[in-house]
Structure 1
């Protein structure tokens, strides 16, 4: 005849469909913990050859929150609570996954429900809490996974209650982390648990909802509406996230990479724009050079046309029978035409843009060897005016206070 403990499921409460599976797990875990070895001299506690450690419940719950509140008092109670919550959840979730993996190997089970079954029993034997799984649960290996359960005698809620302090938020964060870690490993689906009611804050029980991260909010909302929990209360329910800090760091890293990519793209655009601008500048220089060359060619063609089309006729006209007065005018006309075709005029106009038209006329006559008096008569101005113009010409040509002869210098410009 079997012992009562072999046929009675007393460490966990589950729907009838799961009774036999959990009973098998209970017997296995019971036998596992029946072989115990205490060796304080070596600081060892072993169950079935596996080393365990004992930790005070309060130090991982109420006292831990108090310590974090003290450390982060300059940042406020809310931030201290958030840091405590995330740290404890991450630790418990990791432990749950690791314990589950170890037991699957020992029990040689592969079915998700069989994997799950050892979790609540192991939970009870290690002093976390007992477990009551509700019939509305739907433990399936996909995103439709849904588990609603209670943790009677939760070590975290008990620690707060024994301290005589009532919390204004659910405190069983390690219970939530461990159970979600175990189930996540059992069903190979990302899972998260939120405590929706907690004895530490005056509720009737410590109740949890476990679901896929993308479904958890909707599951909580539906439950709270059926349970007549006020919106303002369930809106404040903490939904933990496994290694939230890592996700935030990854997001920050991705954001930084995105910004660097934007900067690189902008830099590439600027580089291309600068390249196009440089190409446009080169093209503009080519065009300007072509225009300068065309202008030069046009001037040369103009001078050639004058020499070939006008000067021969002037010479022919000089050989005809004209009066003395007409001859003087013809001579002056020929000289002026020679001045127009002379390179000196072009050089004085382009190289020395600050020479006035009158100064250019005077310079041309000086170059032809005329003295001031002759120039004054030709231009019909006073001698002093010509003297003043010559002084200004020498200054603008850089000949001031130099012994260079103006006539010689102007001749050199034609070479």
Structure 2
């Protein structure tokens, strides 16, 4: 009996571990636009200066901006791909045990703010795990049926062609707007979304506005879609640092917020996770890292590979600013991941868009990266039946730190659906995975000679 019991416990442990790895990969993908992969590889070279900054975390503790300004020759660099990564003291990134240990000790906080449906054990047990594409309201099914009937009538009644065309255009406009909402309405079938609507500049502008709206945290600024709650560990960090957010970030901590959807939609019963942290990359370097599919293996060990399926837009557009143009890029990517102990590969198809935002000054640049699931682009017969992870929404606001050319503050929002993850575990796993993503980015920036 003891031997059988031991085997059962062992199997259960492996299953839980597998689920955790799956979610961690999903969160990585949400933040990175569907990325994943192995540790740093390939050849690299360095340019080492005579002096290494010795001030506090990333050299930004002091208020004197002059102490933070350094020429490129006074720092150590590691070149990775087409950009340079600034190096800081190794201990700032290697000591993972010191990053958010308070969160680990509190077991990611209590479950008081877990989203709807996770506290009722009976409901969780009885809840059928379904693909989001099948989670439609009765009204949606009726709408699809009526649309089908209209198409049949159009074939036999030429006089109705004009009204049918107008109705179709109206429905297309409504669907396009729905895909720009922070929470995708249930009237939208995710399986049919190919991301083509995001080739329209106006549509992608609205999605970016929705993404920025999601970042509002203060009670007075809470949006109509998400109610954010500061994590217990983050509250303690602020109390211990005189409510100074920058002091917390300079210590290498990751600030965490848990979001609960205010409106019904795809994934509305799943928590959204928001983090804020400092990364050892400029905003432009971070955008390059997230957008380049060949670099996903730098910070994620689980990806089999990410492929650019289609580029919707790449270049400069008029934006009405002093410069007159803004650099932006929009593309569809498909990522395959193979979590440990999983029998099958998982697939995720995502639209990812990046753009520069106007900043207060040239040395305080701001960039935005947003991503959204486009599973309709999964057309390969070998992939259609694979388990699917949907990045319902990913938002990354990257802001350069004034006086520093190689550090930025990243505010990231992730909203992911994975059929392998029980709803009751989504909050704890989501928090842990979001923090680990920040660690992985930091750890990928190795000190030269280490």
Choose 1 or 2 for highest CA Rg. Answer: 1
> TM-score, normalized by length of structure 1?
0.20
**Greater strand content:** 2
> TM-score, normalized by length of structure 2?
0.19
